[in-house]
Amino acid sequence: MIRAATEQAAPAPLGPIAILFPSAGRKSRLHAIEAGLCPKEFFYGALDLSGRGTALRFVDTRQNPDTILANARLWAERARNRLSGFGLSRQRVAALRSEIDDAGLAISFTDGFSLSLGRHRDLLGGGTVLAGGFHGLSDMPDEVASPFRSWAQAQIRKSVAGLDHLFFFGEADRQEAIRRFAIPEAKTSLFLFGVDSDFWCPANNEPADYVLSVGSDPKRDYATLLSAPISAPLRIITRLSLKAPHRMDVDIIRGSYHNVAVTDTVLRDLYREAAVVAVPVRDVFQPSGYSVTLQAMACGKPVVLSRIKGLWDPEVVVSGEYCMLVEPVYLQALANAIAYLRADPGLRAKIGEAARATALRSFALQRMNDSLAALVERCRRLRDVGA
């Protein structure tokens, strides 16, 4: 039968989708999710997409090359990256060449591999749409050692040029990156993070009188937290190397959300038991601290958060209603907010209840599922236009 002129053919599917991130720890959590022992958010909506019939596979971006020579080159790259403070790897991309080339769309969820993917596109076959996600692209050159800064800026520009699409976890970072690296705005989008509020939920227990802080992002400002005149005991969970304070009531737990030494259920219990959750962050464009803040809010906990340039959803995160916002770096402001909440159990309960309601209403997992579906559709249209 001849198709009528006005009838349009259905868009061709993209083909398999490669989800690129350090996946060893995540893969081990798949069975734990089914048992209710792990949240779903750090699969970035991929589980929902797979459940709706989309062919995808998780690809570990820390997979090592096969040959001795390639591993030697990887060692040299890692040494350079440590010296410069800037992560870029040709060998990591080369190690995944076949898996990326077999996909119709490759989506990277870490800044370093997203840059590597775009910068070393020449290694790939060319038939795969490449989408790179960024948590803090615009701050990246400022973290590079001075002798390498011009080189890093040039590498970033080449990297973003090699990607078909860039998506950002914060609007402030997106706009600053567009300005700083001359990225066409139409080539970018915002990816909305959400949390698994079925897993992160309150418990009917009396909180202990300690302040909890969680996170291993170098943008965390633990120096301010440890120096602030806070009278409550502190518990800090991080992989970062912190200088041990002279105080006796500080417990630094060497771990992270991705470290099996601190399981998801243990972290949830720590949120539930804390009187206050503190998220001190340096004043950066990266929306640092959003996952910890939203997890704690979903557990019904009041959060004291730095009012940074990269604050995500500033129209939703309202100080005094769902959390307490304080200016970055100011020790006394951080201490005052924590003391204010500790002194008033009724206020803590009120803010905690509002925080939980806001997490359910504005930061549910579904918004991230929808963001990934929209990203895939956008990339499908890019493929169709380029075909």
- Note down the domain range covering 172: 17-194+365-386
Kindly state whether residues 52 and 63 are assigned to the same domain.
yes
In a domain, 12, yes or no: no
Kindly state whether residues 156 and 300 are assigned to the same domain.
no
Q: Is the CA virtual torsion 56, 61, 66, 67 positive or negative? A: positive
Provide the CATH number for the domain around residue 326: 3.40.50.2000
Span 40-64, pLDDT tens digits: 998 999 999 998 888 999 999 999 9
Structure tokens at 238: 């991080």
257 pLDDT band, cuts 50/70/90, is: very low
pLDDT, averaged across the chain: 90
| DSSP class per residue in 105-126 | EEEE-SHHHHHHHHHTGGGS-S
- Structurally, how many domains does the chain consist of? 2
Closest CA to 97 of 80, 84, 116: 116
Kindly state whether residues 338 and 370 are assigned to the same domain.
no
Span 147-179, pLDDT tens digits: 999 999 999 999 999 999 999 999 999 999 999
225 pLDDT band, cuts 50/70/90, is: very high
In a domain, 2, yes or no: no
Judged by average pLDDT, the poorest of 80-94, 222-236, 253-267 is: 253-267
User: How far are the Cα atoms of 18, 341, 352 from residue 202, in angstroms, in the given order?
Assistant: 35, 18, 9
In a domain, 5, yes or no: no
Kindly state whether residues 186 and 259 are assigned to the same domain.
no
Kindly state whether residues 178 and 229 are assigned to the same domain.
no
At residue 385, does pLDDT exceed 90?
no
